[in-house]
C-alpha cells in the first residue's frame, strides 16, 4: 500500500495533470486548483511567484524521502520544459508501485499469519507447556536447558532466513541501478536539443551510486574526446551488450533520443517482470521458511519434551 505522503502527492498530480493535458499552462493550472481550495497548489503557486522553481516548491511542500525519487524526474523535466510528460510518467510509476505493493501484501498475508501463529504456539509451549511437564517431574533441569537452547536456535534460524528473504525483496523493489530512470533522464535532455555530453553532466546529479556515476562520467569524457557514443558506452563495461548495440544502431540512424526512450521503457518493463517473478516465489519461499522453523522446533524441542514425558 502507498504511504499517506505518496497518496497526497499522487492526488495533487491527479488534479494538476488533466488541466495541463487540456492545454492550460502550469501557472494557470495551479491558480485554478488553489482557488478550488487545494492547499498544495496554493503553496506552490505562491512560492513560484517568489521565484522558486516548481520542483523546489513541490519539495518543500512534500519533503518526505519517499517522494524525492519522483521529484528528481520532475526536476529534469522542468529543465527541459517537459513537465507534463514527467507528470504522466510519475503517475504511471506510482500506480505500478501501488499495484505491486497490493500484490505483495496479499501474497505475504497468509505465510506471515502462519509465522505469527507458530511464534505464539512456541510462546505457549515455553510459558505453559514446560512448567506443566516440569510439575509432573517428567523433565529435568538439563532437559529444560536443552529445550530452551533448541527454541533459541529455531528463532535464530527464523530470523536469519527472514532477513535473507526480506533483503531479497528490498533489492527487487529497490534496485541499485534504475536504468529505466537513467535513460529517461537522457531522453528528456537530448530531446530538448541539449548535447549528449551536457545531458550526461545533468544526469549525473540525480544518482548517488558511485559505479553508475563513474560510468556516466567516463562516457561524457570519451564523447568530449571524440569517441563515438556507442564506443563510450561499451568502454565502461557497465552496460549490457544489447544496450551498446541499440545505441550503435541509433547513433548511425541519428535517432539516439528515441532509443533512450525505448531503453527507458524496456528497463521499466524488465523491472516490472522481475517484480512479478518475485511475487510468484514469495509465498512458497515464506512457507519454506516457516516449515524450516517448525521442523527445527519440533525436532529440537517438542520431540524431546514428549519423549521425556513418555509419549513415544
Report CA 91 to chain centroid distance, whole Å.
15
Domain of 75: which CATH number? 1.20.81.30
Rounded CA separation 209/198 (Å): 19
Between CA 36 and CA 16 the distance in angstroms is 12
Is residue 45 one of the residues assigned to a domain? yes
In this structure, the answer to whether residues 139 and 48 fall within a common structural domain is no
Rounded to 10°, the helix 179-190/65-80 angle is 20
Residue 102 lies in a domain: no
At 212, list the grid cell. 553508475
* Residues 185 and 310 both lie in one domain: yes
One domain, residues 85 and 114:
no
Q: What is the structure's pLDDT at 304? A: 75
Domain that holds residue 112: 108-312
Check whether residue 38 and residue 116 sit in a common domain: no
The answer as to whether 98 is a domain residue is: no
Residue at which a domain ends, from 35, 68, 93: 93
User: pLDDT tens digit string along 212-231?
Assistant: 889 999 999 999 999 999 89
How confident is the model at residue 312, as a pLDDT?
A: 42
Task: Give the per-residue pLDDT at 80.
Answer: 75
pLDDT of residue 308: 66
* Longest distance between any two alpha carbons in the chain, whole Å: 87
Q: What share of the chain is helix, strand, coil (3-state, %, to 5)?
A: 85, 0, 15
Last residue of a domain, one of 70, 93, 116: 93
**Predicted local confidence at residue 143, as pLDDT:** 72
Q: Using an 8 Å Cβ cutoff, are 264 and 187 in contact?
A: yes
Terminal Cα-to-Cα distance of the chain (whole angstroms): 48
Using DSSP, state whether 137 is helix, strand or coil. Answer: coil
Does 89 share its domain with 217?
Answer: no
pLDDT under 70 in the chain at which residues?
1-3, 133, 136-139, 174-177, 308-312
pLDDT tens, position by position, 95-134: 877 777 777 777 777 777 877 887 887 788 777 777 776 7
Does residue 103 sit within a domain? no
Given 93, 128, 154, which residue is the final one in a domain?
A: 93
Same domain, 154 and 23: no
Tell me, what's the pLDDT at 142? 74
Q: Count of domains in the chain?
A: 2
One domain, residues 58 and 153: no
CA 253 – CA 309 distance, rounded (Å): 81
- 124 & 196 share domain: yes
What pLDDT shows up at residue 176? 55
> From residue 99, how far is each of 70, 106, 171, 184 by CA, in Å?
17, 11, 18, 22
Domain match, 68 and 137 both: no
Amino acid at each position: 500500500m502507498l504511504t499517506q505522503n505518496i497518496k497526497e502527492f499522487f492526488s495533487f498530480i491527479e488534479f494538476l495533470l488533466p488541466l495541463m493535458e487540456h492545454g492550460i499552462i502550469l501557472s494557470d493550472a495551479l491558480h485554478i486548483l488553489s482557488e478550488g481550495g487545494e492547499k498544495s497548489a496554493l503553496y506552490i503557486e505562491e512560492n513560484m511567484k517568489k521565484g522558486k522553481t516548481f520542483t523546489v516548491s513541490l519539495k518543500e511542500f512534500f519533503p518526505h524521502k519517499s517522494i524525492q525519487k519522483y521529484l528528481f524526474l520532475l526536476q529534469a523535466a522542468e529543465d527541459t520544459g517537459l513537465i507534463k510528460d514527467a507528470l504522466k510518467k510519475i503517475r504511471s510509476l506510482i500506480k505500478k508501485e501501488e499495484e505491486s505493493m497490493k500484490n505483495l501484501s496479499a501474497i505475504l498475508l497468509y505465510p506471515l499469519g502462519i509465522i505469527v501463529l507458530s511464534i505464539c504456539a512456541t510462546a505457549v509451549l515455553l510459558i505453559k507447556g514446560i512448567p506443566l511437564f516440569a510439575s509432573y517431574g517428567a523433565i529435568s533441569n538439563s532437559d529444560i536447558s536443552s529445550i530452551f537452547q533448541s527454541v533459541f536456535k529455531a528463532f535464530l534460524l527464523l530470523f536469519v532466513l527472514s532477513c535473507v528473504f526480506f533483503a531479497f525483496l528490498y533489492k527487487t523493489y529497490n534496485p541499485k541501478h534504475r536504468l529505466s530512470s537513467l535513460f529517461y533522464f537522457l531522453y528528456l535532455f537530448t530531446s530538448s536539443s541539449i548535447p549528449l555530453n551536457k545531458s550526461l553532466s545533468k544526469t549525473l546529479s540525480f544518482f548517488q551510486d558511485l559505479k553508475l556515476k563513474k560510468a556516466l562520467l567516463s562516457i561524457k569524457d570519451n564523447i568530449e574526446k571524440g569517441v563515438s557514443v556507442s564506443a563510450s558506452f561499451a568502454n565502461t563495461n557497465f552496460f549490457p551488450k544489447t544496450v551498446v548495440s541499440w545505441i550503435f544502431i541509433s547513433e548511425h540512424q541519428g535517432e539516439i533520443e528515441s532509443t533512450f526512450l525505448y531503453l527507458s521503457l524496456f528497463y521499466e518493463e524488465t523491472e516490472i517482470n522481475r517484480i512479478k517473478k518475485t511475487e510468484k516465489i514469495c509465498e512458497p519461499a515464506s512457507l519454506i521458511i516457516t516449515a524450516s522453523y517448525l521442523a527445527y522446533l519440533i525436532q529440537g524441542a517438542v520431540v524431546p519434551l514428549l519423549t521425556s514425558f513418555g509419549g513415544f
